[in-house]
Amino acid sequence: MKTSIDIAIIGAGPQALTLVMHLLQKKKTMKKRFMVFDPSGRWMHQWHHQFGGFQISHLRSPSAHHPHPNPQALRTFGEHRRNEFFPPYDLPGTQLFQDFCEDLIQNWQLQNTVYPARVLSLTPVQRKFQLHLSTGETFTARRVVLAIGAGKPIIPDWAKQIQWRDRLCHSSQIDLRKLNLRGERILIVGGGLTSGHLALSATKQGATVILMARRNFQEKLFDADPGWLGPKYLKGFWAETDWYQRFRLLETARNGGSMTPSVMTQLRQQQHQGKVILSPQCEVEQAVWQENHWDVYCNNSQLLNVDRIWLGTGHQTNVEEHPLLSLIRERYPLQVINGLPVLDSHLRWRGCELFMMGAYAGLQVGPVARNLAGARMASDLIVPALTKSSVALK
């Protein structure tokens, strides 16, 4: 096998699949020039794991958002499956979206393009990169695209101080298909959609859930206003030259976690039936394991007894803490604003041919960077730099 490649794409999630689709649409011959690395050896493994594991019926994003360059492609694919589009904006069902992505992968013969390995380190060598893999192999790539997801789980301080066991876990570790929760009391910490989905699925299995958030529960159709998909808000965002101010715009637009109105309505219904307790403006101070349950002490003097604690506390996106980037930062220092890199207009790390997608491209792509819509925007910026020599780094 060739161990010297042109483009290494690290991660095989929706961001990477979107990039590959856009790349091949632009230039079919690019297929011979890239390799994708992901420990699962499959496309979209993490996505399917989270949708299956949380038992989510449909996407939050409308049907125009998906990896194919033609926004209509999913709607056309699902023409005869109209009952799998959910109101209010034709939100695609989980299975429909999965089948659509599988169809793209088959049609473009991408099944065997994911190499089953984790990239453990990235070393700049002259103007190239050495990738050291979990398999013990080393590859050399001229260009690298990082599409590695949102970063590491955020663990609150109180949870860092106690001994972990399977009855305390971050949402990214949960697979409801493997649990039997009948009769259990579960504390879910965090006010985002992930927590909402977990709460509803757990009650369906017969559990009672306490859903706790630092602030009031926010109800929003999308995690960022659709104005962020186009010039309405992005024009002002891109015109902002103070990077800290841009970061603030990003934070304000996302405004922490939120639930969709549909999930919030279902939670209130479950609340009326006594299966969900909503606990806004409340924080855990300490949790102590007592042989068969947790005693949880909260900042409003409440003491809760629960069987499990799940953390829906999100992920931290910080290039300064990502081990894959430590040698890159040493060799090519660049400005970092609260964990986010200041990339060039092609989402390229300044000074080298390393491109970043997803949440890491937030300062350039805006608040939807981590979503499917952001993947398309990022691909539009990266593809010209990968295909045209005029935009290659000089």
| Binding residues for ligand FAD (CB under 6 A) | 10-16, 37-40, 45-47, 50, 54, 56, 59-61, 65, 118-119, 147-149, 194, 197, 324, 358, 370-372
Q: Which is nearer to ligand FAD, 284 or 324 (CB)?
A: 324
Query: Least distance from C-beta 193 to ligand FAD, angstroms?
Result: 6
* Residue from 129, 65, 109 nearest 355 by CA: 129
Query: Least distance from C-beta 256 to ligand FAD, angstroms?
Result: 15
Query: Least distance from C-beta 389 to ligand FAD, angstroms?
Result: 28
- 44 with 101: CB under 8 angstroms? yes
Measured in residues, the chain has a length of 394
Q: Which is nearer to ligand FAD, 56 or 296 (CB)?
A: 56
Query: Least distance from C-beta 388 to ligand FAD, angstroms?
Result: 24
Q: Which is nearer to ligand FAD, 118 or 220 (CB)?
A: 118
> What stretch of H or E contains 128?
strand 128-133
Q: Which is nearer to ligand FAD, 60 or 254 (CB)?
A: 60
Query: Least distance from C-beta 267 to ligand FAD, angstroms?
Result: 15
Q: Which is nearer to ligand FAD, 33 or 45 (CB)?
A: 45
Count other C-beta atoms under 10 Å from residue 227's C-beta.
12
Concatenated DSSP letters for 314-334?
-EE--TTT-GGGHHHHHHS--
Alpha helices in 14-147, H assignment, sequence order: 14-26, 45-53, 73-77, 94-107
Q: Which is nearer to ligand FAD, 36 or 287 (CB)?
A: 36
145, β-bridge pairs: 9, 355
CB-nearest residue to ligand FAD: 13
Count other C-beta atoms under 10 Å from residue 198's C-beta.
24
Query: Least distance from C-beta 274 to ligand FAD, angstroms?
Result: 26
88: cis peptide before it, omega within 30°?
yes
- Count H helices, E strands: the chain? 12, 21
